[in-house]
Amino acid sequence: MEPRILSHLRALEAESIHILREVVAEFANPVMLYSVGKDSSVMLRLAQKAFFPAKIPFPVLHVDTGYKFKEMYEFRDNLAKELGLNLIVHTNQEALDAGTNPFKLGTQKCCALLKTRALLDALTAGGYDAAFGGARRDEEKSRAKERIYSFRDKFGQWDPKNQRPELWNVYNAKIEKGETIRVFPISNWTELDVWSYIELEKIPIVPLYFAKEREMLVRGNGISPIEHNYPIQIGEKPEMVKVRMRSLGCTYCTGAIRSDAETFPQLMDELVHFKRSERENRIIDHDTEGAMEIKKREGYF
Amino acid sequence: MSVESQLLRFTTAGSVDDGKSTLIGRLLYEAKGVYEDQLASIQSSSVNRSTGPIDFSLLTDGLRAEREQGITIDVAYRYAATPRRKFIIADTPGHEQYTRNMATGASTADLAIVLIDARKGVLVQSRRHAFITSLLGIRYVAVAVNKMDLVDFREDVFNKIQTEFMAYAKSVGLKNVAFFPISALEGDNITEPSARTPWYKGPSLLDHLESVDLVEARNFTDLRFPVQYVNRPTLDFRGFTGQLASGILRPGQTVMTLPSGRITKVKSLPSYDGDLAEAYPPMSVTVCLEDEVDVSRGDMIVDPNHVPHVSRRFAAKLVWMHETPGEAERDYLLKHTSQTVRAQISRIRHRIDINTLAEQPANKLELNEIASIQVETRRPLFFDPYQQNRITGAFILIDPVTNSTVAAGMIEESTAESLEPLKLGSLEFTGETEATVTPAERYARAGHYPATVWLTARQDLAVLLERKLFDLGCQVHILADDRESHLLPELARVLNNAGLIAICSIASPDPAEAERAARLARDNRFLLVDPQALPVHDEEASEVIMKQLEDRNVLRRKERFEVGEGI
Ligand SMILES: Nc1nc2c(ncn2[C@@H]2O[C@H](COP(=O)(O)OP(=O)(O)OP(=O)(O)O)[C@@H](O)[C@H]2O)c(=O)[nH]1
Ligand SMILES: [Mg+2]
């Protein structure tokens, strides 16, 4: 007989499914944030498993800055159709119309308007009392401090010095009207776990994660995608480089990495040998010391 | 790292500045769990409280306030993997003010690393954390005697701490305690044996973390499946979802649902990946049952041969975690597995002095105090003692006004059905308080719950009802004594305690006694039969009463024999 001990991936899966069900059972109107990235893809699969044979019993919200990759939009719309998702796309159109972009306002301000503001507005508009996010504690050191049920006040703000104790898997879901809980079902997964699971479960993901010859703008160590009219300076010329994205954000703020990883085994191999963290190429996280903590206090995921 | 590696969750514990964060930072660094950009960022950080080139504590102290003050405030979760194991690490604060955050990190741990500063020895806070570690039922304790570099790696210093800690560990019931002489800062005995402690022959800390046994800790015998959510996508699918707390589930297996007490079988274990042949803890699964039983969130599917305690009253250990003191007879919400009920601390038995373990009287529970209490809940809970089952024995208390989580509770045993001892004339049934045979166990044997039927002016009906219930296999007894009718409520209660159905046959109406009987019957089903509403024919009337008993789940006519067989 096989020993009855779950592999670490199956143990993580069981924990995440427990969280998803707990939220659906205890909240009136939960929503899942869907960013089209690898973590969201894992979260969706976990939700499918948690509620099988039913469809995913909550809407899926994409906070769209308008600056995502073309391939992400295609992927999102196909997947929504295939899984029969109730997909809600929210954009801070007012800010976009006013010409908000990172070159004009700087990355912090741009993020605050197109991501944080848009997110808070979308949550209020939908009247959601709980919102699932695919953030992981291993991503960044202030995220390592977050509870699975992260309490947010009426303004969506996080108070890291005053978090509710969270014991065992007994989560406190009590809130007043206007307050919300951000829930992180894959808190305990690492980047490697996510990839191992995607491979194990054959979860569809945006092809941008795999290496391919792509048209890029190379500036020193930085390699930038040139979608959405990336401002090219005089003398610069895009070139074809074999790259992939390790983490997907807005095209302006996501740097690509040189890579030959076209398949899963190659990608996993690359991952094991990585010497630098996945958010390193996310410009927004490095503006100032503790940048993520500040954004999170303000309501960012 | 393979997909098949096992997960070990561990936590740090110990007094402030003993070097917990430094140790975790060092472990991460050695296990290649730190990326270059992260390392560069802490190297270039404006703070470095360590005497070495890298302040490893900055790897886990992720909040600005923590870096500014040089202490850990809240638990940080970090991850590391070796070819043998995958680790989820909770680095917790040592400062007394943040004990609740330490408890948060420790609650899910399989192992605790208790740090002790070699220069300072065992401090109050080391004891507090060791005590909480024991209360939370953490199986393994690794005592890391840290900063050995500051005491010249002296064996006698290590031995003295070992002796002192062991004495305390024994008195709080800690098992599987191992000791390691380390320097978190300089890396001695962390991943490899250190040349500076030739007298130490044991494994390195990491070796130990990689080798403690994880299988032994699981309980595969007593099925406990708290129902989280009922999945009903179509009219002909009803799946009960949840995470297995203990035991095994297989199609065809006989199970009991609580609180209804119904016996049925597992039909299937459907999943996204196809039907499962078996489920075991900690799997999250969906269970379909053979019969249409009424099961909802908060109910529990259990093994009919090993039922949990079912009670509204129990004793527990409590860690108080809020600035507002805890008080007896105040309303709290109690969340236990998937059910939330109103509850009160009915009595604070005593507070426990962390240092001496002395039991002291208390009428309030202050922040970070540990106490032994009595709890009373509005509805019955289905539970096991925490030391037997870390899931069905755990609960939290929530303040219904502020919504704060105010306490963590570990159930010890079910207690007294009544608070004041039951008196019958000069007889006092104090034995009630020490009962270990639970109502659910009596239920499992009798096949029905106890009940009190209060029947006025229908002696013949009482006799017929007793016969009918008896023929069904019930344990039943008529109490009819006109002269001593004021004793009937107590007598009925005693019969109920023994698991019987009591039929109280009263000659003339006595609302005061009926009310007293209802109160005394408490959890037991009390059936006050309204004589006006009853058919005049005894046969018809008895059917009405039987139906009411069924509606209250006292008995189930259809499956009676199945119950008997299962036991
Ligand atoms: N010499 C020496 N110093 C150490 C060692 N381990 C930790 N320290 C120092 O002790 C101080 C406290 O270390 P931390 O790791 O922050 O202590 P902590 O236990 O995490 O403290 P709290 O989380 O606030 O309870 C720092 O200045 C460390 O550099 C050691 O092995 N040797
Ligand atoms: Mg610390």
Determine what percent of chain B is predicted with pLDDT higher than 90: 57
- Whether the CB-CB separation of B75 and B105 falls below 8 Å is answered with yes
Considering the domain architecture, whether residues B174 and B99 belong to the same structural domain is answered as: yes
pLDDT band at B491 (very low <50, low <70, confident <90, very high): confident
Q: What is the pLDDT of residues B128-184, one digit of tens each?
A: 999 999 999 999 999 999 999 999 999 999 999 999 999 999 999 998 999 999 999
Query: Does some domain include residue B1?
Result: no
Task: Using the structure block, give the residue that is written with the tokens 């207690």.
Answer: B415
Query: Does some domain include residue B340?
Result: yes
pLDDT band at A58 (very low <50, low <70, confident <90, very high): very high
* Residue A13 at interface with chain B, using a CB cutoff of 8 Å: yes
Chain A residues 52-81 with a CB less than 8 Å from chain B? 52-55
Query: Does some domain include residue B557?
Result: no
Query: Does some domain include residue B558?
Result: no
Considering the domain architecture, whether residues B175 and B249 belong to the same structural domain is answered as: no
CATH number at residue B287: 2.40.30.10
CA-based nearest distance A7→chain B, Å: 5
For B400, other C-beta atoms within 10 Å of its C-beta total 13
- Whether the CB-CB separation of A130 and A24 falls below 8 Å is answered with no
Considering the domain architecture, whether residues B447 and B331 belong to the same structural domain is answered as: no
Number of structural domains (chain B) is 4
SS3 state of residue B508: coil
Considering the domain architecture, whether residues B143 and B195 belong to the same structural domain is answered as: yes
pLDDT band at A234 (very low <50, low <70, confident <90, very high): confident
Query: Does some domain include residue B107?
Result: yes
Considering the domain architecture, whether residues B13 and B98 belong to the same structural domain is answered as: yes
Distance B125 CA to ligand 1 centre (A): 15
Q: What is the pLDDT of residues A100-153, one digit of tens each?
A: 777 777 777 777 777 888 898 999 999 999 999 999 998 888 889 999 999 998
Specify the amino acid at residue B96: E
pLDDT band at B566 (very low <50, low <70, confident <90, very high): very low
| Residue at a domain's end among B253, B284, B302 | B302
Q: Quote the CA–CA distance of B131 and B173 in Å, as a whole number.
A: 9
Q: What is the pLDDT of residues B91-133, one digit of tens each?
A: 999 998 899 899 999 999 999 999 999 999 999 999 999 999 9
Our measurement of the distance from residue B250's CA atom to the centroid of its chain's CA atoms, rounded to an integer in Å, reads 24
* B247 Ramachandran zone, left/alpha/beta (phi>0; psi -120 to 50): left
What sign does the dihedral B68-B74-B77-B78 (CA atoms) show? positive
Considering the domain architecture, whether residues B517 and B386 belong to the same structural domain is answered as: no
Query: Does some domain include residue B556?
Result: no
- Whether the CB-CB separation of B411 and B393 falls below 8 Å is answered with yes
pLDDT band at B489 (very low <50, low <70, confident <90, very high): confident
**B17 CB near ligand 1 (under 6 Å):** yes
DSSP state of B56: G
**B66 CB near ligand 1 (under 6 Å):** no
**B196 CB near ligand 1 (under 6 Å):** no
What sign does the dihedral B517-B519-B520-B526 (CA atoms) show? positive
Probe ligand 1: pick from B11, B22, B129, max atoms within 8 Å of CB?
B22
Considering the domain architecture, whether residues B184 and B89 belong to the same structural domain is answered as: yes
Considering the domain architecture, whether residues B162 and B258 belong to the same structural domain is answered as: no
Query: Does some domain include residue B567?
Result: no
pLDDT band at B439 (very low <50, low <70, confident <90, very high): low
Q: Quote the CA–CA distance of A36 and B473 in Å, as a whole number.
A: 61
pLDDT band at B420 (very low <50, low <70, confident <90, very high): very low
Considering the domain architecture, whether residues B272 and B353 belong to the same structural domain is answered as: no
Q: Which residues surround ligand 2, an ion (CB under 5 A)?
A: B 20-21, 72
User: Beta partners for A254?
Assistant: A282
Closest CA to B500 of B479, B486, B529: B479
In order of their start, the domains of chain A are 8-197+289-298 (3.40.50.620), 207-283 (no CATH)
Considering the domain architecture, whether residues B193 and B284 belong to the same structural domain is answered as: no
For residue B103, give its domain range.
6-211
- pLDDT of B419 > 60? The answer is no
Q: Quote the CA–CA distance of B295 and B458 in Å, as a whole number.
A: 36
Q: Which has more confidence, A231 or B338?
A: B338
Query: Does some domain include residue B565?
Result: no
pLDDT band at A250 (very low <50, low <70, confident <90, very high): confident
CATH number at residue B161: 3.40.50.300
pLDDT band at B559 (very low <50, low <70, confident <90, very high): very low
Q: Quote the CA–CA distance of A163 and A105 in Å, as a whole number.
A: 33
Contact B1 A272 (CB under 8 A): yes
**pLDDT recorded at residue A190:** 92
Measuring CA to CA, how many Å separate A229 from each of A75, A232, B99, B510? 21, 8, 53, 89
CA-based nearest distance B408→chain A, Å: 7
Contact A172 B398 (CB under 8 A): yes
CA-based nearest distance A138→chain B, Å: 6
Q: What is the pLDDT of residues A190-225, one digit of tens each?
A: 988 999 999 999 999 999 999 999 888 788 777 777
| Residue at a domain's end among B211, B236, B265 | B211
Our measurement of the distance from residue A286's CA atom to the centroid of its chain's CA atoms, rounded to an integer in Å, reads 17
**B188 CB near ligand 1 (under 6 Å):** no
Considering the domain architecture, whether residues B10 and B44 belong to the same structural domain is answered as: yes
Hey, what are B170's tokens?
A: 């024994």
| Residue at a domain's end among B177, B211, B245 | B211
Measuring CA to CA, how many Å separate B46 from each of A295, B55, B65, B114, B167? 21, 11, 14, 29, 42
Considering the domain architecture, whether residues B231 and B189 belong to the same structural domain is answered as: no
Determine what percent of chain B is predicted with pLDDT higher than 70: 89
Probe ligand 1: pick from B17, B51, B100, B149, max atoms within 8 Å of CB?
B17
B218 contacts: CB under 8 Å, gap ≥ 6: A4, A5, B246, B280, B281
Q: Which residues of A touch B74 (CB under 8 A)?
A: 145, 160-161, 163
